[in-house]
Amino acid sequence: MEKGLQWETTWLDLPKGEHKKPEYLAINPLGKVPALIDDAVVVHDSTIINEYLEDSFPKAPPLLPRDPAMKARARSLEDYADAYLAPSLYKILREMRKPEAERDRERLREGEQEVLKHFAYLDGQLKGRQFFAGMFSVADISFIPQLSNYERTGYKISDEFPNLKGWWERMKARPSYAASMPTD
Ligand SMILES: N[C@@H](CCC(=O)N[C@@H](CS)C(=O)NCC(=O)O)C(=O)O
CATH topology of domain 1-61: Glutaredoxin (3.40.30)
CATH topology of domain 68-180: Glutathione S-transferase Yfyf (Class Pi); Chain A, domain 2 (1.20.1050)
Which residue's C-alpha comes closest to atom 6 of ligand 1? 32
Parts of the chain belonging to CATH 1.20.1050.10: 68-180
Cα 153 to averaged position of ligand 1 atoms, centre (Å): 18
Long-range interactions of 162-171: CB distance < 8 A, separation 24+? 162/123, 163/123, 163/124, 163/126, 163/127, 163/129, 164/119, 164/122, 164/123, 164/126, 166/126, 167/126, 167/130, 167/131, 167/132, 167/140, 170/130, 171/140, 171/143, 171/144, 171/147
Parts of the chain belonging to CATH 3.40.30.10: 1-61
Cα 34 to averaged position of ligand 1 atoms, centre (Å): 7
Evaluate: CB of 51 within 6 angstroms of ligand 1: no
The pTM of the full predicted model, rounded to 2 decimals, is: 0.93
pLDDT tens for the chain, 184 residues: list them. 999 999 999 999 998 999 999 999 999 999 999 999 999 999 999 999 999 999 999 889 999 999 999 999 999 999 999 999 999 999 999 999 999 999 999 999 999 999 999 999 999 999 999 999 999 999 999 999 999 999 999 999 999 999 999 999 999 999 999 998 887 7
Which residue's C-alpha comes closest to atom 10 of ligand 1? 33
